[in-house]
């Protein structure tokens, strides 16, 4: 992964990174892999305070581009909408137990849709 642009946004207490990842010959990286790589781009960052947005992989090209926001603290990350928190809830160490009931609910919904 390569950092294309880095901005410090003091108003929202975060660092904004534009990245490019060349993964030619391999599958598109998962969210978890992207979180790990973004954390390595910014030393001292906490994976629980990283949000990845605007990910784009073009068909037939092994390059993924996107942007990531690295927040300074848990209070600052609250500006993100609820659906973003839900999207990363299974990848956060602090919300691992909160994800289990959601998985059970999804299973019951899938069973209801098949009947």
Per residue in 97-109, pLDDT (tens digit) is 333 333 444 444 4
Structure tokens given for 17: 């990174």
Per residue in 10-67, pLDDT (tens digit) is 999 999 999 999 988 888 888 888 888 888 888 888 888 899 989 998 888 889 999 9
> Do 50 and 35 contact (CB within 8 A), yes or no?
yes
Sequence-separated (6 or more) residues with CB below 8 Å from residue 16: 5, 6, 7, 8, 9, 67, 68, 69, 70
pLDDT of residue 96: 37
CATH class of this structure's domain 2-114: alpha beta
| Burial letters 20-51, b for 16+ CB under 10 A, else e | ebeeeeeeebeeeebbebbbebeeebbebbbb
Flag whether the pTM goes above 0.75: no
Structure tokens given for 84: 């973003």
Residue 111 CA, chain-centre distance (Å), reads 28
Q: How many CB atoms lie within 10 A of CB 82?
A: 8
- Please tell me which residue, 94 or 69, carries the higher pLDDT value: 69
């Amino acid at each position: 992964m390569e950092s294309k642009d880095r901005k410090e946004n003091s108003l929202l207490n975060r660092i904004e990174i534009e990245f490019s990842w060349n993964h030619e010959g391999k599958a598109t990286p998962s969210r978890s892999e992207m979180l790990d790589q973004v954390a390595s781009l910014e030393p001292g960052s906490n994976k629980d305070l990283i949000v990845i947005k605007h990910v784009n992989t073009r068909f037939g090209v092994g390059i993924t581009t996107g942007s990531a926001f690295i927040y300074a603290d848990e209070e600052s990350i609250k500006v993100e909408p609820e659906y973003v928190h839900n999207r990363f809830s299974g990848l956060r160490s602090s919300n691992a137990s909160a994800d289990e009931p959601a998985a059970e609910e999804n299973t019951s919904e899938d069973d209801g849709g098949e009947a």
